[in-house]
A = this chain, B = another copy of it.
Amino acid sequence: MSIPIKTIERMSLYRRVINRLVEAKKETIFSYELGKLINRSAAQVRRDFMEIGQKGNPQKGYNILDLRDALNELMIEPEGQKIALVGIGNLGRAVLTYFMGRSPNLVISAAFDSDNKKTNRVIAGCKCYDIGKMKDIIKKNKITIGIMTVPLTVAQDVADQLVSAGIKSIVNWAPIHIEVPKHVFLENRDITMSIEKAAYFAKK
């Protein structure tokens, strides 16, 4: 089953919304209600759930626990997945603090920096190591995902190191595009660029 990136983005959103509905003890939901919650059409919701084998009941809508299970099966690796974060500046710390404890199956299990004031300690619940140990720790702990919050001058070098350590997906917050081999998934998240882009369209 090959699902497009845009669909996976919606699946991530559905999963969060559905988890809130489970907590609220809601049992069923119609596609138009779910569509409203993520600002998509009911038709889009129905197409997306068809992809993961979910059909609603015309009278009652979808069973929320079934949706949760199907979304978890799609998105979650039962043994869990581990993330390495590289670059413990303001942004790195914010991502650590923001993401820590959000998902029991998706954990930032190591952070790396070249500044020895930031290493050999725990920040926001995460062990921080010298970047020289990165390859070893990533391999030993079977970490497959890398988050880069490093300065642009070292971004490509850090990406190369992550790839050679066996990382399969990179989320890059450094303000530069980096190159990775085709088998590695890359998501670029450049703060300066997103703000400058917004500024460009605001001044028109």
Looking at the assembled complex, report how far the CB atom of A171 sits from the nearest CB atom of chain B, in whole angstroms. Answer: 5
CB–CB A177/B39 < 8 A: yes
Contacts A13-B177, A94-B90 given: A199-B102 contact, CB under 8 Å?
no
Chain A residue total in the interface (Cβ 8 A): 58
Interface residues as binary, A161-204 with B (CB distance below 8 Å gives 1, 0 otherwise): 00000011111000111110000010101111111111111110
Q: Is A23 an interface residue (CB 8 A)?
A: no
Binds B, one of A4-12, A25-33, A48-56: A4-12
Q: Which of B90, B177, B198 contacts A145 (CB 8 A)?
A: B198
CA distance A152 to B12 in the complex (A): 14
Q: Which of B12, B144, B195, B198 contacts A193 (CB 8 A)?
A: B12
Q: Is A63 an interface residue (CB 8 A)?
A: no
Q: Is A122 an interface residue (CB 8 A)?
A: no
CA distance A95 to B15 in the complex (A): 26
Further contacts, 19 of them, CB under 8 A, given A91-B94, A168-B201: A8-B197, A8-B201, A9-B190, A9-B193, A11-B200, A12-B192, A12-B193, A13-B175, A16-B152, A16-B175, A38-B176, A93-B94, A94-B95, A103-B196, A145-B199, A145-B202, A171-B195, A185-B197, A189-B189
Identify the A interface with B (CB < 8 A). 5, 8-9, 11-13, 15-16, 38-40, 74-75, 77, 81, 83, 90-91, 93-95, 97-99, 102-103, 106, 144-145, 147, 152, 167-171, 175-179, 185, 187, 189-203
